[in-house]
Amino acid sequence: MLAQAAWGAAFLTGTVSEQDGSDAVPLPGAYVQVRAGSPERVVAQAVTDSRGRYLIEDVPEGRVTLGVAAAGYYTIKAGGLDSETITRTCPPEGECGSVDFVTARAGVLEGYLNDDFGAPVQGVEVTLRPASGAPAARRGRQAAGRGLSDDRGYFRIWDLKPGRYLFEARMRFLFPPWLPKFRLDAREVEIAGGGEPREVSFQLRGDAGVFSISGIVERLTDEEPHPTFVVIRPRAPGGDLWTMFTVAREGRFRMDGLEKGDYVLQAGRDNSNNTRDFRLLAVLTVDRDLMDLRLRPALPTGVRGRVAFADGEKSNLNIRIYPKGTEARGWEQLRVEGPDYAFEHGGLPPGEYSASLRPGGRYLVEDYSFTVHPGSMTGLEMAVSSEFARIFGTVRLARGGGRESRPAGAHFLVGLRGVRGSFSSPADENGVFAFDKLIPGEYRIAAWRDPDTDVSDEEVWAEAASAVRTITVQAGFEMEVDLTAER
């Protein structure tokens, strides 16, 4: 028997089972996790016993989300609903309810990569991404799994939910230059559950569409040491950081596996106080191999400034800097630490930029715009505040031609879309939802019956146009919004 929960604390109980054909058998060793807060984090968890039972003690009061983490399994039902998670509202003490989960064995993809002659290809990164034709909840750029081919060309990716995926393979930057360059155009594969591996074999083709860069990074002056690393990223606005290369003796470097396109190169050096200096090195168009380049870091070109706290306790922050008008996907990310909370980046290409705090922090700040001019540093002071807004309410299910309604229950998902992207909040057993730590501004809000709806997908919002409401929230204020959904 599981131990009884401590008196004076809220607790959760239930079971976790594995679907085995038409039967459900207990799943021992699974982690049942309780998440709470904004952003959500694990605040309590328990491991199932030999009979698949769990008891979670010291559950915090208020709204919590329950889910299961078990290697090799995925959740198909939570509390009787076709969902991976479920939301509950817990009292200060006593039983918060009983939630049973049903899981199934995840899928596995394994196979071999060979070249045009049938020889195995080693050191290729393979990636699975949800296919564009998959349900909205499974679409997006987020990788579902990755693997690396070994000396036999063999790779294996596990913990996959059933569905259609795009399989991609590419050489990465850090492989030796004497290895051949290969590419595999993305193709779809179907993954089934049950733990049985799906075996595939792919033939890679030699690719003349990838190139190399090599050369020497010169010192700006004779007194300065050579940079210790070179960073390369796509020039396209919003491009993610690709990789960092260590500069060898006398400033020599080499980069392989670059696709055709425009790139920004930055030279950097680690300082003794655990900070880094960045300098703009070059903006290059790569459409062929560029060998034996001689590059010299530019004068500091970028932004420097500090964070000023308008209220609340001071803390360390991350600032994201990205080309203006693009998504804040981390073109540059700077760490801001006390006691002066200053920041500096001297390696930005000239242009228009925006700066914002990393989403999900404990402070809010409006996006700041600034211009970087050649060979100069732009000053920027960012004022932050803790005057967040909050939206809460109830999802009600209409019936009787809309004349009557009742709480929709825990199977609904509420989506919120605003200046910092999309957020979701599952309704609890009473149809109650809440969004905390929102920056002031205009938002769109709607509710969906499917708890696995991907609210980051613009198509989902377009399909629900008639049910979408537009609201405006002010700093430091709470707003109650009741939503009505059709049966």
Return the bridge partners of 337, or none.
342
Distances (CA, A) of 452 to 76, 80, 231, 422: 11, 15, 38, 14
pLDDT band at 405 (very low <50, low <70, confident <90, very high): low
pLDDT digits (tens, 9 = 90+) for 73-84: 999 999 988 889
The pLDDT value given to residue 469 = 92
Judge whether 46 and 56 are in contact, CB under 8 Å: yes
The pLDDT value given to residue 401 = 54
Characterise 375 by phi-psi region: left (phi > 0), alpha (psi -120 to 50), beta (else).
left
User: How is the chain split among helix, strand and coil, in percent rounded to 5?
Assistant: 5, 55, 40
The Cβ of residue 118 has, within 10 Å, a number of other Cβ atoms equal to: 8
Distances (CA, A) of 124 to 65, 149, 233, 246, 472: 38, 5, 20, 21, 49
**DSSP secondary structure of 423-434:** EEEE--TTSEEE
Characterise 459 by phi-psi region: left (phi > 0), alpha (psi -120 to 50), beta (else).
alpha
What the block records as the tokens of 424 is: 């979701």
The pLDDT value given to residue 355 = 86
Q: How far apart are CA 152 and CA 399, in angstroms?
A: 61
417-431 burial string, b = 16+ CB within 10 Å, else e? bbebebbbbbbbeeb
Judge whether 238 and 322 are in contact, CB under 8 Å: yes
Q: How far apart are CA 477 and CA 160, in angstroms?
A: 42
137 vs 314, more confident: 314
pLDDT band at 169 (very low <50, low <70, confident <90, very high): confident
Phi, psi of 37 (to 5 degrees): 95, 180
Kindly report which listed range (38-52, 95-109, 312-326, 451-465) carries the lowest average pLDDT score. Answer: 312-326
Section 399-428 average pLDDT: 76
- Which of 47-51, 150-154, 393-397 is most confident? 47-51
Decide: helix, strand or coil at residue 353. Answer: strand
Whether the pTM exceeds 0.85: the reply is no
The pLDDT value given to residue 7 = 43
pLDDT digits (tens, 9 = 90+) for 262-306: 888 888 877 666 667 788 888 899 888 899 999 988 888 999 999
The pLDDT value given to residue 103 = 95
Res 3 pLDDT > 60: no
Judge whether 451 and 412 are in contact, CB under 8 Å: yes
Kindly report which listed range (96-105, 301-310, 432-441) carries the lowest average pLDDT score. Answer: 432-441
Characterise 292 by phi-psi region: left (phi > 0), alpha (psi -120 to 50), beta (else).
left
